[in-house]
Every structure is written in C-alpha cells, then in structure tokens.
Structure 1
Amino acid sequence: MKILSAEQIREIDAKTVTYDAVSSLELMKRAAKAFYYWFIEKYQDKQASILILSGTGNNGGDGIVVARLLSSSGYSVKVCNVEYSKRRSEDCAHNIRRAKAENVPLLFVSKAEEIPDFSDYAILIDALFGTGLNRDVSGIAHDVILRMNESGKTIISIDVPSGLFMDKHTDFAVQAAHTVTFQIPKAALFLPDNAPFTGEVTLVDIGLSRKAICEAETNWFFQVKEDIAALLKPLSRFAHKGTQGHALIIGGSGGKTGSVCLAAKAALKTGCGLVTAYGPKGLSAVLGSWFPEAMVIEDADSDYLSDIAFDIRPDAIGVGIGLGTEPATQKAFYRFLSGNKQSLVVDADGLNILSQHKEWLSLLPVGTILTPHPKELSRLIGSWENDYDKMDKIHVFVKKYPVILILKGAYSMIVNNETVYINSSGTPALATAGSGDVLTGMIAGLLAQGYPAIDAARMAVYMHGRTADRTQSVIHPRSFVASDIIDQIGNVYFELDNELSIH
C-alpha cells in the first residue's frame, strides 16, 4: 500500500470527485460512514454519552456527518463545533445545517469559558483538524485539545489526531486512544515519537479512486499481507534439501549459545533446506539436544569465537547474534568480512563491532541486511533529535553504504536506498529475549532460498510480526517467548498461501 503526503491525499480526493463523478459531499459521507461502521462495531452501548469535537474545515464536516449517523442510530451524541476560524468549508457548513434539521444537539464554542465539561461524556471523538494542518495549534483549538488530553476520557480521532503534522515533528496534539484513518496510510501515524498521539491505528476504505491512487508516485509503502503474499515463491513438487538453500548462522559466546539455536531453527522453519550453526565450544551439545536437524561447526578451544573459518559453501549467512565483542572475536569478524561474498544479514554484536569500526562497513557485500534496534542504530548513525531527523540520517547512511537497514520496533521500517517500507504486523509480545535472533534466522533462511535481499527483509519482518498477531487470543503478550515465533512460522505460510489463492 502506498504511503502518501498530505498534498497527494488532497489531490486524490479531487481526482476521485472527477474520475468517479461523485460530489465532495458524497466523498465526505463515504468517509463518515466508514468511521461510523468501525465505531458501532467497537462501541455498542448506545447509552454511553458521546461528544464530537468538530472543527470548521472538512475534517469537522466528517465529524458532523458521523454525529448525524450515530444520532439516527439511537446513540447519545452531541457536537461541539470549535470555531477556531471565522470561515467554514462549504461541506462543513452544509452538514451543520443538516444536523440542525435532524435535531442533532449542537454547541458552538469560540472562547475557553464556553468549552463544555468533558466529565459528562464517556467518549470524545476528535474531528478538529485533518491532514492539511501546517502550523502550530493555537487559541481556542489549543484550549480544547489541552482539556481533551487532561480529561482522562477515551478519545478517538477521525483520520488523524488533531494537531499532528504529516511531515515534521509534533510537540502538541490530541492524545488519541484510537485513530481511524481514511484508506491511505500516513507515515506520521507510525513513527515512535507520535505514539502518544496516535494510539491504535486502523485503516478504513472510503472508496477513493483506485486510478488516482495508482497515479500517485511515492517511495514510502505500508506493507500488508497481500503485498507479502505476492513475493512468495511457489514450492516445487520436486524440491529437495539441495534446491532449498543452505544457511549458515554464525554467533554465540559463553552463556549465549541459545541465540544461535533460535536463529538456526528459525532459518530451517522458514524453508531453507540445510542449516549449519557455527559457534563456540559446547554448541554441539546444546544444539543437538534442542534442535537435531541442524549441522554444527564449533570452536572447540574457546568460549568465544577467535576464528571464523569454514569449508562449506552456504547460500546465505547470518552473523552477530550472541557473538560478544572480545578483541579476538573482533579480529575474526574482520577477517570473515574481508573474504565473504555471500548474501549476509548482520545483527546484535555484529552491529556493535561495526559501530566501533565503521571503516569495516565498506567490506559488506551490496545488499547486506542490517537489523538494529534503536540503541544499536544510534551507535551506527549517531543520535537524532526526532524521527524525521533519524530518517534523514538513515537515508544518508544507506546511500554511503549500500545496505538494507531494518529498524526494529513497533511498525518496523525497512529502508533500501530511497525506498521505505513500514511494516503492519506485530504486537508488543515481540519485545522478548531472542526475538531478534529469530528474525535474523528467518532472513538468512529466505536469502538462502534465493529471495532478493529486499524481498527477504520484507517477508521476514512481516512474517515475524504476524506470528505475534495470530497468537494474541491464545498466548498472552506478557508470556510470549521467542520459540513461540518459530512455532507459528508454518501457520503464517498457510495464511500467505490462502491470500494467494483468494487473489
């Protein structure tokens, strides 16, 4: 799915009116209906009092149409129209007239003392500003948002939380529990800095012109199940272990051999035919008792790797998990990088070593996948002021070193040169020890099967997150562990296969 700018979204709205021969009022009604259907499915108590805070623009108009729909369905709803501007959009004014005619309770507010007592309401629906906001909120709108945030009430934002900028850092906005956004993903909704404002984000289809969306150009994408299913290769009836690729997992040190076990099993469960684990003394005993399907090469003389040398020819390599940063290990890592030409994914201590020796980054094969969490990223690219500054620095980094960077976290980002993919799957359950090791193994397994590096990165990140999504009702997120990810990989493949059969 394309992620588009506020200007592009306005253009698509206008093109929808032209291409589909619908009025702007009809488009507003479509948007309001999409929100309404989401709302009545989630909130079925019609006695709970609802206050819709609407503005003077089209987002305010959306809110007023929602009020009309809820009122006609028997919900207890009232509109507070916040007059932060002396002019209303034509569609907003039209729907105010309709609301009056339908006896929807309306209150008009232009001064702080006129703001109603929010304690009288169970739910506040935010429809003050839309995606077009380009200046700091002030005056009566600021006062209303401040009181909303202080109210302790459930706040639901229509399209975007009011006050949130689409293309720069935001310091003040509505702190929504839910954001129901219209059809086109907006990058600002998925940035960590904006988490206090966005809450849970849901996309709803409002019937925008497919042709108009297709015409829009972008380097940013929100990846969902159908995108990942389209990348999946068919499994030949004549496949055997020799045709499905050989992944090598390098890592481990004293007390950290479990990371290699997790990554190795994840690689095999992701579909590669053979996996070899390369690690320190004792790895054979640990891996053999837990995961006998893997082959093992171990450094028999040390609790950490002092050399990385092998005579096998893997198709892809995952390195760095549990590796440690002993001086001898760092030297071995350098020698390995100097001679390696295979597809590569680097994680954990591999990243930490690279951050101490940034000149070694030039040794990485083109398309190497790096998988830092935020702290590891800061060691690689330096600190940042906010998410937009961070993204600028990431783009500079991946241009200087032609790597693919996966920034792990909620809505993990995959950055490949100018292109950014924001991932849709995953829950906080993935914040558990070994989760990153499993991801490294999954990426290595996909690389070994011959997937292009960017496809392997995108598929692994989505599938990794999806394992948590699908277990929410049977494994509490607090109890979810890394081996649960591995156990669910096959079920995620079933989902992707089913998606392909549907389309």
Structure 2
Amino acid sequence: MSFELPKLAFLLPRNAEYVGQWHTVPIGLSRQFQAQAESRLFLIDAALLAGRLPRRGRFGHKGTYGHALLLLGSRGKIGAAVLATQACLRSGVGLLTVRTPAVGYDILQTSAPEAMALTDPAADFLSELPELTPYSAIGMGPGIDKADSTKVVLEQLLRTAQVPLVLDADALNLLGANPDLLALLPPDSILTPHPKEFERLSGSARDDYHRLELLREFCHKHRCYTVLKGAHTCLGTPTGELYFNTTGNPGMATGGSGDVLTGLLTALRAQHLSALDAALLGIYAHGRAGDLAARHTGEVGLIAGDLTRFIGPTLQELTTPDAF
C-alpha cells in the first residue's frame, strides 16, 4: 500500500517478488500541489492521455491520416511483417505501403489486402531502399534479420529520411552491432527495445536503477524517444522524463507483441502526432489491447495476433473519455 502515488521501486522487475500486488490509497493530499510538484517520473494512464488523440473529422479522407511505410520481413520471418502490418492498419493510418522481400509478397497480399505491397528485388532480405517521398512516417525492424544488404538499407534510411522513424527488432540489433550508425539517428526517432536489445545499444546495467540512468543518458545523447519494453514499459525522453505504463499483462510476453507495437507507433506518427504523444498513446493502447484480449483468451492463451483485434476499441476509448 502506498499513499496517493506508487513508489518507483514498485515498477522495477527485480522487486516484483517483494512487492506483489500494489495499491495506492488517497489521504487527502492537495491535487493542485501534486500537479505543480516537480518530477521527472510519470505514470501513463487515461488522465495523462486525455486530449492527445484527435477525434476524426467528418470530412477527413485517407490523405488526411498519413501514408506510412513499413520495411519488414525476411525468409522465415514474414509473420512479423504481417503482425506489424495489421497493427498499423488498425491504428488509423490513411494509407500503408509495406516493403518486403519477394518471398513475402503473396503472404502480405493475402493477409493484409488493405496494404500496398512494394516488393524488394531480393528474394529473402531487404536489399534496396525505395523512394521515400510519398511517406509521412517510416517503421523498420520486425523480421528483417541482419543481412549485410539490410544493414546498407538501414544506413541509407538514417541518412536520407526526412520523416519520423520507428525502429525495432533487428533494426536495433544492427544499430547495436554498428554504433557508428547511431550518430545518424534523426532527432525524435522512436526506438522500441526489449531489455537485451537495449543492453546492446547502451551497455550492461548494474541493476534496474542504473538501467534507468542509462536510458536517460541514451535518449539525451541521441535525441530520441526509447520505449524500454517490460511489465511497466518505460518511455525515456530526450529531456530526461521517464513515463511508466499502467496497462498490459503477462500474457503479452509472447512472440510478435513487439511487432504489433511497431505498427501501432508508426501509424500514430504517420498521422502527424508528436513523438511524445505517439509514444505515450502507443504504449498505453498496446497494453490496453492486451488487457481486453486477455478477457477473451486468458493470459496463457493470448497470442500477438489477438492484440490487433482490440487496437481499434482501445483507440476509441481514448477519444471517448466517458468509455472509461
């Protein structure tokens, strides 16, 4: 039990066995004082997100809501491409083009007919960066593997992109293996590592508290937003604030969940949301979709594809406050 607000220790993995289920209890502290108190630690909840996701205009059209490009997949990993694609489509983007190796063409056209498939000349891996002019945001990483040709594509993307980037999975592993590429990272990019991927980017942490300091330093140095995934996913910002998520459940610890998050974040950035708003909304909606899905499947039976079904209802909640 904690008065008014949780303690940071409640949110860190190594303390889980000592904390168990935690609850906050109001004791009448001034809400005005709390709002004015200086802090660099925040919880991502519905109150924090109020008003950040614009309602759709009656006369909006597909051009209003952005054109996203996803660079996805390799032989044996087209499933990751499908999950990210379906999540992006469910997250409100107006148009979506998916660049995939030739091996993924039939699969993507069948599983996501609403997306346009742009086939790479290579059969098994991404080998060329397409023309980027049409796009308002670009996501890269799920299923791409770490072929030399794919590293070249990533470097070209970092050097030439003029729109927001979302990087995940093997795009992050390529950055970790080639630190010189980090210097090319455009400001306000969103990175979505799990703890081991983050370790490859920033070095080993002594403990959970040190990892948060490394997160702050990394985001400040590279002027990026980093989504450190976990039970209370933590968003690091270039200015040093840390935001901890309040949605999600252990059933989401399954392959493909991160691919869904990549598609969701890319769609929000394509709709011209700021990096901070897109990251906060995406993290919360991802976890909330998992909570809604678990009501139907249970946590043990939850798979990543279930998350995509509940992204729409979650985003509807965020534009309809009374739904809570």
TM-superposition CA deviations, 1:31-58 (whole Å, max 9, x none)? xxxxxxxxxxxxxxxxxxxxxxxxxxxx
Code of the aligned partner of 1:488: F
Determine the structure 1 residue equivalent to 2:252: 430
Q: How does 1:66-465 map to 2 (within 5 A)?
A: 159=1, 181-310=2-131, 312-417=133-238, 418-465=240-287
- Paired residue for 1:481, among 272, 293, 303? 303
**Separation of aligned partners in 1, 2:122 and 2:36:** 61
Give TM-score scaled by structure 2 length.
Answer: 0.96
CA distance in 2: counterparts of 1:326 and 1:443, whole angstroms: 25
Amino acid at match of 1:369: I
For 1:214 and 1:227, locate their aligned partners in 2 and report how far apart those are by CA, in whole Å: 11
Residue 246 of structure 1 deviates from its aligned partner by 0.7
User: Could you tell me how far 1:368 is from its partner in structure 2?
Assistant: 0.3
The separation in 1 between residues aligned to 2:140 and 2:316, in whole angstroms, is 29
Mapped partners of 1:430, 1:330: distance in 2: 29
Contact in 2 for aligned 1:463/1:492 (Cα 8 Å):
yes
Where structure 1 has 5 or more consecutive residues not aligned to the other structure, the ranges are 1-158, 160-180
CA distance in 1, matches of 2:265, 2:322: 21
Take 2:246 and 2:83, find their aligned partners in 1: how far apart are those partners? 24
Is the Cα contact below 8 Å between 2:99 and 2:117 reproduced in 1?
A: yes
Q: Counterpart in 2 of 1:495?
A: 317
Distance apart, 1:302 and its partner CA:
2.2
What code does the residue aligned with 2:71 have? Answer: I
8 Å CA contact 1:220–1:419 kept in 2: the answer is yes
Tell me the distance in 1 between the aligned counterparts of 2:254 and 2:224.
Answer: 26
Instruction: Tell me the CA shift for residue 270 of structure 1.
Output: 0.6
Q: Cα distance 1:310–1:215, how it changes in 2: closer, same or farther (>3 A)?
A: closer
**Is the 1:370–1:404 Cα contact (8 Å) retained in structure 2?**
yes
Residues 87 and 308 in structure 2, CA contact (< 8 A), matched pair in contact too: yes
Report the AA paired with residue 473 of structure 1.
R
Higher relative contact order (CA 8 A, sep 6+): 2
Answer yes or no: is the 8 Å Cα contact 1:228–1:458 preserved in 2.
yes
Q: Which runs of 5+ in 2 are unaligned?
A: none
Deviation at 1:500, TM superposition (A): 5.6
Letter in 2 for 1:402: R
Q: CA deviation at 1:320?
A: 1.1
Q: Is the 8 A contact 1:222 1:421 kept in 2?
A: yes
Name the CA distance, whole Å, in 2 between partners of 1:369 and 1:217: 25
Is 2:121–2:128's contact at 8 Å kept on the other side of the alignment?
no
What amino acid maps onto 1:249 in structure 2? L
Is the 8 Å Cα contact of residues 185 and 222 (structure 1) preserved in structure 2?
Answer: no
SS at match of 1:301: coil
Q: Does the 8 A contact of 1:283 with 1:296 survive in 2? A: no
TM-score (norm 1): 0.62
CA deviation map 1:433-470 (0-9, x unaligned)? 11100000000000000100111011000000001222
Aligned-partner Cα distance in 2 for 1:349–1:207: 48
CA contact (8 A) 1:248 1:278 kept: yes
In the aligned structure 2, how far is the partner of 1:373 from the partner of 1:416?
A: 16
Q: Distance in 2 between matches of 1:443 and 1:231?
A: 14
1:193 deviation in Å? 1.6
Which string of whole-angstrom CA distances, capped at 9 and with x for unpartnered residues, describes residues 314-354 of structure 1?
Answer: 10000011111111221222122211121000000000000
Aligned-partner SS, 1:317: strand
Deviations 1:44-80 (A, max 9, x none): xxxxxxxxxxxxxxxxxxxxxxxxxxxxxxxxxxxxx
- Contact kept, 8 Å, 2:54 with 2:319, in 1: the verdict is no
In structure 1, the residue corresponding to 2:293 is in which secondary structure?
coil
Quote the offset at 1:301 in angstroms.
3.1
Conserved 8 A contact 1:247-1:445 = yes
2: CA distance, partners of 1:301 / 1:350: 18
Aligned to 1:107: none
The change in CA–CA distance for 1:501 and 1:255 in structure 2 (over 3 A counts) is closer
RMSD of aligned C-alpha atoms?
1.5
Partner of 2:301: helix, strand, or coil? Answer: coil
What is the aligned-residue identity percentage?
Answer: 38
Q: Is the 8 A contact 1:323 1:350 kept in 2?
A: yes
8 Å contact kept, 1:230–1:500: no
Amino acid at match of 2:316: F
- Aligned partner of 2:258: which letter? G
Distance 1:394 1:421 in 2: 12
CA distance in 1, matches of 2:177, 2:117: 29
Equivalenced residues, count? 323
Change (3 A) 1:361 1:442: same
Alignment check: 8 A CA contact 1:249 1:319 kept: yes
